[in-house]
């Protein structure tokens, strides 16, 4: 298998954009009509995911140390869709047909051999990971909504009771599916550390045009049912570190960091923690009252709220711990930077991708080593 030849082949095909995924799924469903019901009715999001996954796999094809963990997680994730071993050859056949079609005269026996070898490796790693995972974990958990809080018109906090213990580490996420949007799975982070009663909280923000988030935010009631995939993610606390902790959350990116904060609170001697919570407006600081109560009860915790699109400063200072001067103003990354230094801290950052990128840039500029910054960004996962 020639890695560079594979990359060049995919680069040529990828230039055709959405037509590639459209051709692939059309070919797959014409050859295998029974597979159509495994996918959502609207396929635009699914097509985007296919191209992103293919692009990532090809870019890492000569770096197995990074590619294999990605494929293993992909194999485990596909269990919730009902994907089994017999489906992989069908997918491989349609993938080769798609690549051949869009390669035109550039398609050769050598390129076909490269793609066959690559897909054989991908399928093997994914299947092995799925089979191993099936020995210890269900494909999904059934959950019941036990409480709903409407924090603002576009944000709700849901408490869900899974039908069996859901083992996870604070900072991780699970995919959620609702009955009215079958086969549309979207990832959301748990907002609490594991509890004895097994309930989990999710902070859900409505995304315009999303197939799942509007249902969860506006249409979900106590008693409703959901399905939950297996926990994933590496935005998790380094329990071995003696350093103080910096948490930077934009909007509902607060959820996994709040779970980490709860984990820290259970230590016999917690480190100093600074939590920056940012939104565009004061109204967007939907969880500030609860955070203020935590800061009032934990002398090692400092909460710093920030808004980026409002001038002036007032409104929540009375909620904050003594000594805090109220809401900061400016982009969250700039607020974090001027409150430093942070070079002696472990940093955890979650929120919109632009905010996360700017915060990472600021922290590295201020001397925080990149390997001490753990992050997660919002993308199409939360819609």
Assign 269 a pLDDT band (cuts: 50, 70, 90). very high
Q: How far apart are CA 195 and CA 146, in angstroms?
A: 15
Instruction: For residue 172, give the 3-state DSSP assignment.
Output: coil
Region 149-158: what's the mean pLDDT?
A: 95
Token pair in block for residue 24: 């692939």
8 A C-beta contact, residue 141 and residue 228? yes
pLDDT tens, residue by residue, 365-376: 999 999 999 998
**Is 313 a residue whose pLDDT tops 90?**
no
pLDDT tens, residue by residue, 240-250: 999 999 999 99
pLDDT tens, residue by residue, 346-362: 999 999 999 999 999 99
Percent of the chain with pLDDT over 70: 94
**Is 204 a residue whose pLDDT tops 80?**
yes
Residue 242, Cβ neighbours under 10 Å: how many? 7
CA distances for 22 relative to 34, 43, 44, 48, 106, angstroms:
18, 9, 9, 10, 21
Beta bridge partners of 226: 143
Dump strand ranges (E) for 301-364. Answer: 301-307, 328-329, 345-352
pLDDT tens, residue by residue, 28-65: 999 999 988 888 777 777 777 888 889 999 999 888 99
Token pair in block for residue 54: 């293919």
* 321: DSSP letter: P
Give, rounded to a whole angstrom, the gap between the first and last alpha carbons of the chain. Answer: 38
pLDDT tens, residue by residue, 10-33: 999 999 988 999 999 999 999 999
pLDDT tens, residue by residue, 82-116: 888 999 999 999 999 999 999 999 999 999 999 99
Q: How far apart are CA 190 and CA 197, in angstroms?
A: 14
* DSSP of 253-303: GHHHHHHHHHHHHTSSSPPPEEEEEEESSGGG-TTHHHHHHHHHH-TTEEE
* DSSP of 105-163: GG--HHHHHHHHHHHHHHHHHHHHHHHHHHTTS-S-EEEEEEEEEEEETTEEEEEEEES
The residue whose two tokens read 């798609």 is 98
Region 338-344: what's the mean pLDDT?
A: 93
Percent of the chain with pLDDT over 90: 78
């Amino acid at each position: 298998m020639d890695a560079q030849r594979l990359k060049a082949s995919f680069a040529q095909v990828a230039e055709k954009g959405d037509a590639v995924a459209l051709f692939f799924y059309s070919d797959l469903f014409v050859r295998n009509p029974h597979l159509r019901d495994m996918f959502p009715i609207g396929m635009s999001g699914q097509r985007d995911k296919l191209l992103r996954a293919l692009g990532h796999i090809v870019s890492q094809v000569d770096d197995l140390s990074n590619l294999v963990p990605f494929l293993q997680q992909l194999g485990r994730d596909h269990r919730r869709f009902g994907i089994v071993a017999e489906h992989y050859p069908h997918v491989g056949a349609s993938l080769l047909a798609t690549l051949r079609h869009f390669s035109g005269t550039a398609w050769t026996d050598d390129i076909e051999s490269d793609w066959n070898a690559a897909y054989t490796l991908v399928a093997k790693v994914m299947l092995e990971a799925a089979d191993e995972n099936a020995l210890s974990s269900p494909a999904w958990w059934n959950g019941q909504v036990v409480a709903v809080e409407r924090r603002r018109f576009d944000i709700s906090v849901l408490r869900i009771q899974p039908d069996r213990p859901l083992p996870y580490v604070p900072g991780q996420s699970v995919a959620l599916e609702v009955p009215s949007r079958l086969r549309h799975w979207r990832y959301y982070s748990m907002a609490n550390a594991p509890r004895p009663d097994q309930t989990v909280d999710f902070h859900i923000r409505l995304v315009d045009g999303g197939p799942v988030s509007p249902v969860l935010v506006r249409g979900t009631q106590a008693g409703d049912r959901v399905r939950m995939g297996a926990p994933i993610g590496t935005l998790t606390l380094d329990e071995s570190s003696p350093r103080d902790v910096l948490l930077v959350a934009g909007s509902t990116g607060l959820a996994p960091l709040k779970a980490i904060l709860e984990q820290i609170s259970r230590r016999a001697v917690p480190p100093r923690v600074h939590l920056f919570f940012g939104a565009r407006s004061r109204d967007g600081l939907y969880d500030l009252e609860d955070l203020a109560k935590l800061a009032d009860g934990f002398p090692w915790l400092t909460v710093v709220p920030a808004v980026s699109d409002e001038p002036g400063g007032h409104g929540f200072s009375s909620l904050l711990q003594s000594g805090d001067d109220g809401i900061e103003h400016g982009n969250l990354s700039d607020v974090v930077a001027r409150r430093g230094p942070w070079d002696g801290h472990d940093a955890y950052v979650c929120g919109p991708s632009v905010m996360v990128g700017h915060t990472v840039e600021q922290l590295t500029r201020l001397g925080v080593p990149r390997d001490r910054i753990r992050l997660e960004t919002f993308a199409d996962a939360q819609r």
